[in-house]
Amino acid sequence: MAAYILKRLISAIPVLFGITLIVFLIMAMIPGDPATAILGAYATPENVAKINKDLGLDAPLFQRYFIWLGNMLTGDFGRSYSLNRPVLDEILERFNATLILAGTSFVLCALFGILAGVISAARQYGWADKAITFTVLIGISIPSFFLGMVMILVFAVRLRWFPVSGMYAIYGGGDLPDLLNHLVMPAIALAAVATGVVARMSRSAMLEVLRQDYIRTARAKGVNERKVVLGHALKSAMVTIIPVLGIQAGFVLSGAVYIEMVFQWPGIGRMLVDAILKRDILLVQGGVVFVAACYVLFNIIVDVAQSLLDPRIKS
């Protein structure tokens, strides 16, 4: 197992290297001059030239890339132009909020998605199967940002059950109940599509396993149906379900960008949008690479979990 984990970690290195190169080139090709954006009304030719020299923006493109990459490998992500603070400090501070939102949404989509898939497969063609399938299709069809806006209109503006935006109340609050009250709507909106995908894939995986000979043998021996479904079928189906969870984790993490904008959640997604608008190159590059590294790391964890359930994967 240690050798397999080491192999997966080594295989992630070229992926991360490619991500850094793509992000750097995309930011370099965006129209506009960062020095002009930083100086604003004071963007005279002399001041622009001075800022470009101080920040190293007048160096050749490949030289700037390797300087940035070398600094990142030592833990120095640079300094944000717009915030005047270290990029890594800002990322870590904002990532806590994103982790709360994305983590909650992922737990919701994993639990309810697998549960819905198992019930739907165990009651194939029954009323529960039809109801779950209908609900899942609706959930998959509605974009998360649109669902979020509808939830704000209905549950925050009309019914006043939940706050409209933010992570904590502006005045007072700041405790766990206040956080949970603000978390309900964005977490549900972000988890809706992923829950539908997990439910459909869980149903397909369970139906395939339930048709296997050893399941029919267990039933013929009089094993309790709940034990057959949960003890035998679900364990085998998890080999197929776990990779789907890994993919949906990436969807949830990337989807947090627009959900954070809809609900004004102070996470890394909102930070990236603000940084792009302000042409804060180092903050954008550092944020994207950090999120990508988290996604790669999570996929390695998923691969390890899958190999524990099915040792053949390690070969």
For 84-130, the pLDDT digits (tens) are 888 899 999 888 899 999 999 999 999 999 999 999 988 888 898 89
**Average pLDDT score, the chain:** 84
103 and 130 within one domain? yes
The range of the structural domain enclosing residue 35 comes to 18-87
3 state SS for the chain: CHHHHHHHHHHHHHHHHHHHHHHHHHHHHCCCCHHHHHHHHHCCHHHHHHHHHHHCCCCCHHHHHHHHHHHHHCCCCCECCCCCCEHHHHHHHHHHHHHHHHHHHHHHHHHHHHHHHHHHHHCCCCHHHHHHHHHHHHHHHCCHHHHHHHHHHHHHHHCCCCCCCCCCCCCCCCCHHHHHHHHHHHHHHHHHHHHHHHHHHHHHHHHHHHCCHHHHHHHHCCCCHHHHHHHHHHHHHHHHHHHHHHHHHHHHHHHHHHHHHHHCCCCHHHHHHHHHHCCCHHHHHHHHHHHHHHHHHHHHHHHHHHHHHCHHHHC
Least confident among 17-21, 39-43, 234-238, 275-279: 39-43
Domain boundary among 32, 64, 87: 87
For 165-222, the pLDDT digits (tens) are 888 887 766 778 888 998 999 999 999 889 999 999 999 998 888 888 888 888 888 8
298 and 163 within one domain? yes
Report if residue 1 sits inside a domain.
no
Q: Is the pLDDT of residue 301 over 60?
A: yes
For 215-259, the pLDDT digits (tens) are 888 888 888 888 888 878 888 888 888 888 888 888 888 888 888
Report if residue 6 sits inside a domain.
no
Query: What is the number of domains present in the chain?
Result: 2
82 and 120 within one domain? no
Domain boundary among 41, 68, 87: 87
Report if residue 252 sits inside a domain.
yes
305 and 213 within one domain? yes
Report if residue 78 sits inside a domain.
yes
Say which residue, 2 or 190, is predicted with more confidence.
190
Report if residue 221 sits inside a domain.
yes
**Whole-prediction pTM value?**
0.82
Report if residue 4 sits inside a domain.
no
Domain boundary among 87, 120, 148: 87
110 and 161 within one domain? yes
Report if residue 12 sits inside a domain.
no
25 and 105 within one domain? no
CATH classification at residue 145: 1.10.3720.10
125 and 105 within one domain? yes
Report if residue 53 sits inside a domain.
yes
33 and 148 within one domain? no
268 and 227 within one domain? yes
